[in-house]
Structure 1
């Protein structure tokens, strides 16, 4: 069922093996860098709770799973080696159908989340709404962050921030001339200056009315994180520990990168955690925030609200040219197909092949950690989608008696 490879921890003890820039690594230091972001960035610990949610073995093992890509039959070992997979966990009804590791990882390895952390941040909005710390998703962001008054974000609702439809200008691509907002975000991070991220966001111009155009923005996610901190009066990592890490039954502490020593969490990325704990997060969302202890931490119906498009600009096929996906509240919605096994599913996606897939209809959660050699790899993505479809289909049938 499980295939825990050694973690090669001895290779990670030398800080020189961790690149200072997670987006600029070599094939040799990429995995140690993804494993050890706490060595190079200030961070806050996301404390685990008192009880660990068990993940028992599922009756059907997917150890022999194969799938077809481009007319060629592929096995898991070949897929993982070719796509530099560091961890693959497949859960059915909260039970492990497959758990495998690569790239020197093992069950105790923590791995960088990249943008899958955006979905954690959005889930904390749901928790704050459930707690009453946030009154309504249609509240304007400056009600919680007076600092945004006078900026292009003044008047933008929390809902449109979650949809990434603020209308505020942002270019996510890290362009060569250094003028993109994403590049400027990186410069703000490197400065390690408290408040540098919000300072950048306050200077951005308006490009569209809010609610009209989808525009993917890591800055928007950082703003949402700051809003949750302001609403709850708690550091984001502490609130995450109370509302996600403890209720989901995480087995280990996580880390959340900060913009400066003791500063704000970088809410658009920056969470490092074990593979099983990313799987437990997906399971908490699949179960609509019903903690395994029975205590709800999200508003009823949050899963289906957050996991599917609820506006024209975020509808299926509307996000960007050539993409059939839709967008919920910081979750990518899987396009429905006639008779498709993944209808109603959604996923958290992160650079270099990080993935948390939630399929409520089939009761499947898949957590995938990777070390692609570039932030986006369309061939690897197609292969992983084929693997996920095959896994969900295989788990539909009862195991032989």
Structure 2
């Protein structure tokens, strides 16, 4: 009899423990796994939703008064569209492109919201390079606040530790356009690339400002302001410029200028280069789906707080338009840390600008149709594994909501 009682106690205890158990670091992958693209589907989802267990972070504080997101009278209930000669629907897109979260805002209201693969409304997800567009907006805010004098200022005005390097003579504007003329290899899956060297510094997590140890050694490839070369390292430098100018941590400045006044529903997190160190400007803002949507709507509405824009007049139009630089390939152009879409990608994408991140993250802003779309993905590789062209899907959503008007 005592054996039966003992077994019952063990089973009940195990069940209750299981209900309260939190995933351990053994349940998720590491930083190198993310960039190698070596994670199987379930583990990828667990990892991408818990990267604060991989890197030190700083809290982006919310104000405790979330702005309402109402339901739109125009609901996206079904969708049929064609991409590369094949027909798809909403479940196809979610499944094949491994979208863990999708949010569509029409006129500032929710027209579609979907969570999958165990992700919920309260799950903080990694933004990857969508964070670059947040940093761009903070540059605009720092100019409006008088911390940064001009986009034409040399980077070395704010970061004198780069004096004598290939960044001598490079302006803040050049960095924003990814056109510094400094050589950089962004290949995520190559352990010897510059991007991976930057990652290794972040993994070591023991030296604040170690980014400069890499950036000071880079060589010059061309004159500044002319040739596009995508570089996460340069967005990290942009973040360093903002922090040096404001003397405020990026997460705190983001909280003060946007997170609290816009009414985000939850605290965000931002990866740091070391415990208590500086934010990694090029990636690593963690937030819930709806707060990414609120940021997109904030940008669409002119980056205004209480009727006053936090960025200079004309900033968003300038930041979200393609610059006259060579080397931007595919369907895209590039503004100030925002991707643009070339006209040949379809008329529906005219005036569109986007934040985009590896593994399927995007923030799509369509001013002409007053639409914001957020996609959170868990794709198997950093790039090149979208089964369906995201732009074809996004065009179909916009067309559907236009027809419904």
Over 3 Å counting, the alpha-carbon distance change for 1:339 and 1:162 in structure 2 is closer
Query: Out of 138, 158, 162, which is 2:176 matched to?
Result: 162
Please state if 1:16 is matched with 2:23. no
1:379 CA drift (Å): 4.2
Distance 2:185 2:345 in 1: 35
Match in the other structure for 1:283:
297
Contact residue 154 and residue 170 of structure 2 kept, 8 A: yes
1:298 CA drift (Å): 1.4
Query: Out of 295, 298, 310, which is 1:297 matched to?
Result: 310
Query: Out of 175, 180, 189, which is 2:193 matched to?
Result: 180
Question: Secondary structure, in 3 states, of the residue corresponding to 2:214?
Answer: helix
Contact residue 288 and residue 302 of structure 1 kept, 8 A: no
Query: Out of 385, 392, 395, which is 1:389 matched to?
Result: 395
Distance 1:119 1:106 in 2: 24
Contact residue 290 and residue 296 of structure 1 kept, 8 A: yes
Contact residue 331 and residue 344 of structure 2 kept, 8 A: no
Match in the other structure for 1:319:
328
Match in the other structure for 1:39:
53
1:12 CA drift (Å): 5.1
TM normalised by structure 2 equals: 0.90
Deviations 1:283-322 (A, max 9, x none): 111112113x434211122211101123233xxxx413xx
Over 3 Å counting, the alpha-carbon distance change for 1:333 and 1:389 in structure 2 is same
Question: Secondary structure, in 3 states, of the residue corresponding to 2:243?
Answer: helix
Q: Which runs of 5+ in 2 are unaligned?
A: 1-17
1:381 CA drift (Å): 5.2
Please state if 1:239 is matched with 2:253. yes
1:82 CA drift (Å): 1.7
Between 1 and 2, higher relative CO (CA 8 Å, sep ≥ 6) is seen in 2
Match in the other structure for 2:86:
72
What count of residue pairs does the alignment treat as equivalent?
383
Instruction: Give RMSD over aligned pairs.
Output: 1.9
Over 3 Å counting, the alpha-carbon distance change for 1:339 and 1:68 in structure 2 is closer
Question: Secondary structure, in 3 states, of the residue corresponding to 2:368?
Answer: coil
Distance 1:368 1:184 in 2: 28
Match in the other structure for 1:309:
322
Q: Which runs of 5+ in 1 are unaligned?
A: 1-7
Deviations 1:136-184 (A, max 9, x none): 01111111111111111122100000000001110101464x4321121
